[in-house]
Amino acid sequence: MRIKTFKTGLVILLTSACLSGAWAQKYVMVIHGGAGTILKSTMTPEKEKAYRAALASALQKGYTALKAGKPSLDAVEAAIHVLEDSPLFNAGKGAVFTHDGRNEMDASIMNGKTLEAGAVAGVTTVRNPISAARAVMERSEHVMMVGQGAEKFAKEAGLTIVDPSYFRTEERWQGLQKAIKEDSTKSVLDHGSKKAVLLGIKNRDNKFGTVGAVALDKDGNLAAGTSTGGMTNKKYGRVGDAPIIGAGTYANNTTAGISCTGWGEFYIRSVVAHDISALMEYKGLSVAEASKLVMDKVGKLGGDGGVIALDRKGNVAMPFNTEGMYRGTVTDDGKISVEIYK
C-alpha cells in the first residue's frame, strides 16, 4: 500500500491492497443453469429475460435463507428448487427425454462441514430430486439410491411425488423426436459439444443444461448441489456425473464447494469436482487457479462444459469452455449478478 500526505489531509491509495483482493467482495452463493452453445445472436429478448429472471429468483431464494441464518444446505436446496420447477432448465420440470421417452433425473448434495453426501439417480416421480438427494444423506446410512428404490425412499420421507407426466414439456419432447430422426444410434448432450461435432452428432439446440448451486453460510460452512435430466436420447439407464460425489458435486469446508455442468462422461473420468478441491488442499492453489486447471484438462480430453466453485473465504470461480453458461452470484450484501454469454 502507498501512502501520500498532503496539506489538506491524508490520502491513502489502495492500489496494492485492491489488487491483492484484500477488500474483494465476499460471495455467499453461486449458481449455474447449464453450459453450451448459448449465443446472444440466437437468443430472443423474451427468452433471455426469462432466463435472467429465473436465475435471479433462485439466487434471491438462496440468499434469503442465508440472511435468515439458515445453513448452506438449506440455501442450496432452496435455490435448486426454483431451477427444478422452471421448464427453462434441464432439471425437474424441464428435464429432457431418454430414448425410451422417459424423464429420468439425477441429483446430489454435499455438506462441506461433515463431508456427508447424498444422491439419487434415474428417478421419474420425485418433483424435486435435490430434496431426495438430501433425504438420502440425512435419513439413511447410504450415499446413493437409484430408480424405484430411490422413489420409494423419497415417498416414505414425505417428499412430493408426482405423475411422470408432470415433467413433460412439448419443447423437450420435440427435441427427442428430432434427435431420434436425425441420429437414432447416438445420444445427444443437453448442450452443444466439440466432440459431438467430431462424432457427427449435430447440435440440436439442446443447451438448457444441468443446474447447480454452492453456498457459504454465516457459520462458514459450505454446501454444494447439482440436479439434472441428463442427455436427450440417452440410452438404457445411463447416469452422468451430476449424482456422483467427486465428479459432478463436491464440498469441503477446508477448500471449496463445486458443482459441474457439461458432458458427464468426461467429468466422471476426470473426477472434476474433487480434483479442484484436491489441488487447493494439497498444492495450495486458489479456487480460480484450480478450477481453470481442471477445466483445461477436461477440454484436452475432448469434453466441454463448466464449473462453479466457491471457497471458504467467499471467492468465486466460474470457468467454462463453451460459448456460454447460465450463471449467477450473490454477495454478502445482497447484490445479485446474472451472466449468460462469454
Query: Partners of 329 in the beta sheet?
Result: 30, 337
C-alpha of 16 from chain center: 34
Give the Cα separation of 184 and 164 in Å (integer).
24
Report the pLDDT value the prediction gives residue 209, as an integer from 0 to 100. 76
Nearest to 334 by CA among 55, 26, 73: 26
Report the phi/psi class of residue 266: left, alpha or beta, with left for phi > 0 and alpha for psi in -120 to 50: alpha
Q: Is the pLDDT of residue 215 over 80?
A: yes
The whole-angstrom separation of Cα 66 and Cα 251 is 17
Cα distance from N-terminal residue to C-terminal residue, the chain: 33
- Please state the rounded mean pLDDT for residues 126-149: 98
For the record, the C-alpha cell of 162 comes out as 408426482
Please identify which residue in the block is written with the cell numbers 474483494.
Answer: 24
pLDDT tier, 24 (very low <50, low <70, confident <90, very high otherwise): low
Helix (H) or strand (E) holding 173: helix 170-182
Cα–Cα distance measured from residue 248 to residue 328, given in angstroms and rounded to the nearest whole number: 18
pLDDT category at 112 given cuts 50, 70, 90 is very high
Residue 6 above 70 pLDDT?
no
In single-letter form, the type of residue at position 225 comes to G
- Count of CB atoms within 10 A of residue 114's CB? 11
Give the amino acid at 18: C
Element (H, E) at 274: helix 272-283
Domain limits, the chain: 25-341
Q: What residues act catalytically? A: 210
Query: CA nearest 137: which of 245, 62, 275, 231?
Result: 245
Q: Is 155 exposed, middle or buried (0-12, 13-18, 19+ CB in 10 A)?
A: middle
Q: Which of 15, 43, 129 is nearest to 80 (CA)?
A: 129
Q: 182 pLDDT band (50/70/90 cuts)?
A: confident
Stretch 333-337: mean pLDDT, rounded? 98
Q: What is the CATH number of domain 25-341?
A: 3.60.20.30
Count Cβ atoms within 10 A of the Cβ of residue 47 and give its class: 0-12 exposed, 13-18 middle, 19 or more buried. exposed
Residue type, 31: I
Please identify which residue in the block is written with the cell numbers 436446496. 77
Higher-confidence residue of 275 and 201: namely 275
**CA–CA separation, 211 and 234 (whole Å):** 18
pLDDT at 161: 98
Which pTM was predicted?
Answer: 0.88
pLDDT at 322 over 50: yes
